[in-house]
Each structure stands twice: as structure tokens, then as C-alpha cells.
Structure 1
Amino acid sequence: MKNKVLLIGNAGNDPTIKSLDGGRKVANLTIATHDHYKNDKGERVEQTEWHNIVAWGKTAEIIEKFVIKGKQIAVEGKLTHRSYDDQNGVKRFITEVLVNEITLLGK
């Protein structure tokens, strides 16, 4: 079995870039993907899904240089899940795509 995700969408925000000790970078952003279908009345409906994206190292550097809000990109990576406790002590769960390859699309 292989955990592999390929998404093509638009950056929903400017990436957040953090530099860690040793100069390694991590990029966080969201991308929106769109799907279309017809409902039971025959009307076209567009559904938008939001995905949390995380990239490390050279991939994060590419994102830092070239990706801005609205930019169309393709990302390939693996689906990850984690949890954390928020400021009120409530356990939160998050699903992210850990990117190993990015392709810049559009203009």
C-alpha cells in the first residue's frame, strides 16, 4: 500500500515560512481544490475543499520564492494526521499533506 496524494488547486493564502535552527525552512499554506457536479435538480454545483499543506527544505524554499495567494500549483506528497491541544486544553485534530514535490502552474 502507498500513501500518495496529488492535488491541483490555488493557494488560499500567502505561505507562512519559518526558518529553524540550522537554516532549514518549513512552509505552511492552504490550497483550494474545486469539484463540480449536478444536483438532483440538474443544477451545476461547485464544491470547494481546503487542504493544509506542509513542505520542508528545498520545497519550502521554492514555495517561499514563487507561491502567493491565488497561485495555481500542483503538490504531490503524503497524507498525515496529527493532534494538538489548543490554548484552552481542547484536543484538536488536523490532516495535512506533507509535500515532497511542487509544480508551479498558471502565469
Structure 2
Amino acid sequence: MRGLNKVTLIGNLGKDPDVSVLEGNVAVAKFSLATSETWRDKAGQPHTTTDWHSVVLWRGLAELAQAYLRKGSLVYLEGKLKTRHYDDAAGVRHYVTEIIGEQLLLLDKKTGALPPPAV
């Protein structure tokens, strides 16, 4: 049996994308994405929890992010979870889980030039 690694999120950017260009002219964008969930307790009081996700976009999606995404932008994102690790100077191993974006849909309704609907 084969596995499935798929993540679907709708949320807002916590900051402008951090875009860099690597060797071979490969663009990479990194940003945090907030997803919120609201519910009511037994007394009827509303509560909201927010989860923060680390997102990485490559190549064309990174360029799209650089051109159109800003802090607060609302996006639909599909991708996969990827966990990597690194050792710091003291030799302590750290694990980082990121979402590698594979499809991005801009959900903001803004006037002016409209970006492509999805990549």
C-alpha cells in the first residue's frame, strides 16, 4: 500500500514572504500561515485558536508569492508535510516541519490588476 502526504489549508500570511534566489536561479519563498478555528463552549461563549504553519514555495510559486502575497493575504494552499533536521553549534539536533506548497490560490478580493487564479 502507498501512503498519502497531503495538506490543505486556508489562512492568512503572518508576514510578507521571504524570497531568495538560490544557485541555478531557483526562487524559494518562506512565510508563516495562520489558520483559525472558532467554536462555542457549553455556556455559548465563542473561542478561537490559531495555528501557525511554516510554508515553503519553490520556483514559479515562489515568484507568484513575491509578486502578489503580502502580510494578511488570504490564500488556499495545497502541499505536503516535510520534516527536516539540523544540528546546531552545540551539537543539539532540531527538527523542523514545513509545508511544501504545490498549489496556491489567491483568495483576496482586490481591485486593480488580478493575478492568475492558481498555479
Counterpart of 1:102 in structure 2: which amino acid?
Answer: L
Identify the residue that residue 59 of structure 2 maps to in structure 1.
57
CA deviation string 1:63-104 (max 9, x = no partner): 010001000011101011111123544322111100011000
Aligned pair count reads 107
Question: How many percent of aligned residue pairs carry the same amino acid?
Answer: 38
Return the structure number with greater relative CO, CA threshold 8 A, min gap 6.
1
Match of 1:74 among 73, 76, 79: 76
Q: Distance in 2 between matches of 1:27 and 1:36?
A: 29
Partner Cα separation in structure 2 for residue 88 and residue 39 of structure 1: 45
Could you say what secondary structure the match of 1:22 adopts?
A: coil
- Structure 1 unmatched ranges of 5 or more: none
Which one has a larger percent strand, Structure 1 or Structure 2?
1
For structure 2, the residue ranges without an aligned partner over 5 or more in a row are 110-119
Q: What letter matches 1:44 in structure 2?
A: P
Query: Where has structure 1 moved over 4 Å in runs of 4 or more?
Result: none
Aligned counterparts of 2:47 and 2:88: Cα–Cα separation in 1: 35
Q: Which residue of 1 aligns with 2:31?
A: 29
